[in-house]
A and B are shown apart, each in its own frame.
Chain A
Amino acid sequence: DAGVTQSPTHLIKTRGQHVTLRCSPISGHKSVSWYQQVLGQGPQFIFQYYEKEERGRGNFPDRFSARQFPNYSSELNVNALLLGDSALYLCASSSDRVGETQYFGPGTRLLVL
């Protein structure tokens, strides 16, 4: 079975632009979470979506938004990009049971110039 897939793998944007990152979960997984990993640090939780509804939000500004589609894939949108948004954006999927393991995709590396 395919794992979590993310696109694109790399992206370069300039300050003020908008970006959309995409994620497809493992087949049968209904929950998708997004994390931001700045170089040299651990991932920080941004959002969790389950059955198209937001189930959790981390401490990120309103410039960050996301949505989940009926096929459980998800998009992360970031508006008005700042230099500090440069990071590896990771998507993780799970079947959303208590203590269930999350499986991570390879990430999208975003560079904001």
Chain B
Amino acid sequence: GNSVTQMEGPVTLSEEAFLTINCTYTATGYPSLFWYVQYPGEGLQLLLKATKADDKGSNKGFEATYRKETTSFHLEKGSVQVSDSAVYFCALSTGGGNKLTFGTGTQLKVEL
């Protein structure tokens, strides 16, 4: 079956630090990969996605590259801000369906 593994949090960084949140996956077929973000008390917002190997998704300074050879989709940002504090979820979908399989989430705390 499909599964997503994320690094455990919380991750605490100072403002302007470099961010990496690791995500690896196991899937049948060729999944589409996603990063969603959840701010306190809110639902999920799509941050970025990639639908095939070597694609790079990017949005709001965040990037992630679909690496088929390492089955990974690590999230990076060069300079985090306090407003980036949230929980980040890596997810995948396969087979053209809409079932998303999520990781357990990584909480990011950015301090001044």
B-binding residues in A (CB < 8 A): 4, 31, 33, 35, 40-45, 48, 50, 55-56, 58, 90, 92, 94, 96, 98-107
Contact = CB atoms under 8 A, between A and B. Distances in A.
A100 B102 CA distance: 16
Contacts of A56: 97-99
Contact of B43 (A48, A96, A105): A105
Interface size class of B (residues with CB under 8 A): 20 to 34
A101 B44 CA distance: 12
The 4 closest A-B pairs by CB, nearest first: A42-B102, A98-B96, A104-B44, A99-B32
B51 interface: yes
Interface of B: 4, 32, 34, 36, 42-46, 49, 51, 89, 91, 93, 96-105
| Most B-side CB within 10 Å, residue of A35, A40, A42 | A42
